[in-house]
A and B are shown apart, each in its own frame.
Chain A
């Protein structure tokens, strides 16, 4: 056992840390993220700068723009980026975490050349296209239809909560290619240019972030945009979700640090109840950090961390709720004051987080679905 990092890993982390602290565009990008609107001009600049150094995809092979390093380095890079970005950090990006992961394993050579280098250089991103009005936790129930018309697939239907659609260039689309039981055996994955005629994107303002509905009306998708094998999409989705649930705790830890500092300077830290609560959160944060680092450690050993990623997701998302609720208790009446209000404490951060954090317990699989995964896949309990 070893709970430390090697000198090379520490150096790698430090380089990213210093770059983000000192780069002018990084600060602009941070503000864009915090506004909850997705990528703005500064973000695209900083993505390209990070990409040029290989830091977006350190674990990818060098030929596709990576650094050929173990997955642990990717976790370290993400930790630094999430810590810097703070509020609004979206964790794993679709292009890197989902598209990239699936293309590396199952994409055609043509697709790899077409997309991977541009993803790793920070030139393009993808919008995750899974959720539908009738396919939330039950993703296999998705119904958007992709018909094989010989020269192309004809796509019709609707997607919901596809958050990156208004700033990404491509849609990472899960669509039904066969009506079959069980339903998950009739799903395929496609890469769709979001500028393709017939696509309509309608914004939804959610609590603390902007997301979208997206409609496909007789959209023609070229045959070479099918990813991997027909009707194997659900398997690829599940595989990549283990990666997407690679959280880092650095952002949430940053919030806890601010809260601890506030307790000290405000004198609230003398209260034994507050001392107990903050000590408990700091303990849980350490556990979350270890759960997070277990994922890349397993990936580097060729293990597939499905229930482990589910454990991380549940623990992290529920810890986030506890951090924010404790913050609200410590801030007491000040907790309700918004960022720009007179008397707002800690820049109104925890007023914003009180609602914005709700996304965490829902997205990437609800905590309840995660518990199902742990029960079935880790403990081997009977499905029915």
Chain B
């Protein structure tokens, strides 16, 4: 048993925190909410130079050969800073599946470019059904000689408007197949949706978009196995973001109780406030450990279905609880747009929903328990 990050991970965390404090202040976060692209190509390039895009990729593809715990340390800092942009869509949702399921040719084509920060990718799975399971996919892929024609609507696709390539799930006969699709393919239409967190999620309509058969990821008809793996990786990545986000909310809130006077006293001296802060601290510790345990399992390449779903179930609910308590303690001030609290509150909801909320993951846990 060891509950601490190792030295390299602590160094990564420390340098990431410093870098993001300098490069991703809250003004930048607010600017990116208004910005149509929603990210800064300049910052993206600098993150690539730090090796972040290739953190999980082997050295032969230009990566650093890190594991899921290394990623967790980095993502916690990104969550703390509320870093906007297509980091997870490009890395965890796209480069990892290519690394694990792609042909050598696909790996050579995509991975070095991703590691260098020269390629933005995203994942197009969710559809108007709003479901995260296989039955939610209605987009169709029809074979035509050496190509496929893909038709359907993908929803809430993160950063699709700036992506160079999509990893897209479509129904082929009774099975699901995953395709690597060039965003410039004729017949693809992307519309930015307006969201609670002002993050950049899109509608992507595919109308007979022609994709060469060699762009299938994995086996034809066996794409859901990959998709569920991506959902697992995506879920734990969201947990790590939430963890960092909530650590910051707790610190911000506790700091505020130590400076805010009411009734002639610091509000942090009132037990009503103290107990709420204690409950936040318990939640945050729980979020950390349940996330670390699942990330550790993944880093050891052990089966982690139940651990990941326990983590996402707990962190999803905790993110709402902790942010809500943060708001209660900040009072009216926290409700103003100038205050950072509302940024965390809105982002936390997006993270809660990504790759399944608490109810969704509890059902997976129930199945895993044999219920």
Spell out A's residues near B (CB within 8 Å). Answer: 1-5, 72, 260, 263-264, 269, 272, 274-276, 278-280, 282-284, 286-287, 290-291, 293-294, 296-297, 307, 311, 314-315, 368, 370-372, 374-376, 378-384
Q: Mark B1-44, 1 if CB is under 8 A from A, else 0.
A: 11111100000000000000000000000000000000000000
Cross-chain contact of A293 among B1, B6, B273 (Cβ < 8 A): B1
Does B258 sit within 8 A of A, measured CB to CB?
yes
- Which residues of B in the span 275-297 have a Cβ within 8 Å of any Cβ on A? 275, 277-279, 281-282, 285-286, 289-290, 292-293, 295-297
* CB <8 Å contact, A1 and B5: yes
* CB <8 Å contact, A378 and B281: yes
* CB <8 Å contact, A276 and B278: no
* CB <8 Å contact, B4 and A1: yes
Docked complex Cα distance between A63 and B363 (Å): 52
Residue of B with least CB distance to A270: B371
Contacts A282-B310, A290-B293, A374-B278 given; indicate if A2 touches B363 (C-beta within 8 A): no
Docked complex Cα distance between A260 and B366 (Å): 10
**Mind listing 8 A-B residue pairs with CB under 8 Å?**
A276-B366, A279-B366, A282-B369, A283-B310, A297-B1, A372-B274, A376-B274, A381-B273
* CB <8 Å contact, A286 and B296: no
Contacts A279-B363, A280-B313, A374-B278 given; indicate if A287 touches B286 (C-beta within 8 A): yes
* CB <8 Å contact, A294 and B363: no
Contacts A2-B296, A282-B369 given; indicate if A276 touches B274 (C-beta within 8 A): no
Task: Assign chain B's interface to a size class.
Answer: 35 or more
Docked complex Cα distance between A45 and B282 (Å): 40
Does B84 sit within 8 A of A, measured CB to CB?
no
* CB <8 Å contact, B290 and A286: yes
* CB <8 Å contact, A275 and B297: no
Spell out B's residues near A (CB within 8 Å). Answer: 1-6, 69, 254, 257-258, 265-266, 268-269, 271, 273-275, 277-279, 281-282, 285-286, 289-290, 292-293, 295-297, 307, 310, 313-314, 359, 362-366, 369-371
* CB <8 Å contact, A311 and B3: no
Contacts A297-B3, A311-B281, A315-B286 given; indicate if A280 touches B268 (C-beta within 8 A): no
* CB <8 Å contact, B2 and A1: yes
Residue of B with least CB distance to A298: B3
Which residues of B have CB within 8 Å of A278?
366, 369, 371
* CB <8 Å contact, B269 and A275: no
Which residues of B have CB within 8 Å of A379?
254, 274, 277-278, 281
Docked complex Cα distance between A259 and B313 (Å): 21
Give the one of B4, B69, B285 with max A CB within 10 A: B285
Top 8 nearest A-B pairs (CB, nearest first) are: A375-B274, A279-B365, A279-B362, A374-B278, A371-B278, A275-B366, A269-B371, A381-B268
Give the one of A370, A374, A378 with max B CB within 10 A: A374
* CB <8 Å contact, A283 and B296: no
User: For the complex, would chain A's binding face be called helix, strand, loop or mixed by DSSP majority?
Assistant: helix
Cross-chain contact of B285 among A275, A291, A372 (Cβ < 8 A): A291
Residue of B with least CB distance to A296: B1
CB of B93, distance to nearest CB on chain A (Å): 24
Contacts A1-B69, A286-B290, A374-B282 given; indicate if A381 touches B254 (C-beta within 8 A): yes
Residue of B with least CB distance to A381: B268
Which residues of A have CB within 8 Å of B281?
307, 311, 374, 378-379
* CB <8 Å contact, A381 and B293: no
Give the one of B257, B292, B371 with max A CB within 10 A: B371
Which residues of B have CB within 8 Å of A294?
3, 289
Which residues of A have CB within 8 Å of B363?
272, 275-276, 279
CB of B12, distance to nearest CB on chain A (Å): 13
* CB <8 Å contact, A368 and B296: no
Given contact pairs A1-B4, A278-B371, a sample of 15 additional A-B residue pairs in the complex whose CB atoms are under 8 Å apart: A2-B1, A260-B370, A263-B371, A278-B366, A279-B363, A279-B364, A280-B362, A290-B289, A315-B286, A371-B278, A374-B278, A374-B281, A376-B274, A382-B266, A384-B269
* CB <8 Å contact, A381 and B69: no
Docked complex Cα distance between A97 and B265 (Å): 39
Contacts A269-B371, A275-B362, A379-B254 given; indicate if A315 touches B282 (C-beta within 8 A): yes
Docked complex Cα distance between A293 and B365 (Å): 22
Which residues of B have CB within 8 Å of A372?
271, 274-275, 278
Residue of B with least CB distance to A275: B366
CB of A366, distance to nearest CB on chain B (Å): 12
Which residues of A have CB within 8 Å of B266?
382
Contacts A287-B289, A371-B278, A380-B254 given; indicate if A1 touches B310 (C-beta within 8 A): no
* CB <8 Å contact, B4 and A283: no
Which residues of A have CB within 8 Å of B257?
381
CB of A269, distance to nearest CB on chain B (Å): 4
* CB <8 Å contact, B289 and A260: no
CB of A311, distance to nearest CB on chain B (Å): 5
* CB <8 Å contact, B292 and A3: yes
Which residues of A have CB within 8 Å of B2?
1-2, 297
Docked complex Cα distance between A60 and B257 (Å): 42
Docked complex Cα distance between A111 and B44 (Å): 66
Docked complex Cα distance between A290 and B294 (Å): 12
Contacts A276-B359, A297-B1, A297-B3 given; indicate if A381 touches B274 (C-beta within 8 A): yes
Which residues of A have CB within 8 Å of B295?
1
Which residues of A have CB within 8 Å of B296?
1-3
* CB <8 Å contact, B292 and A1: yes
CB of A306, distance to nearest CB on chain B (Å): 13
CB of B322, distance to nearest CB on chain A (Å): 13
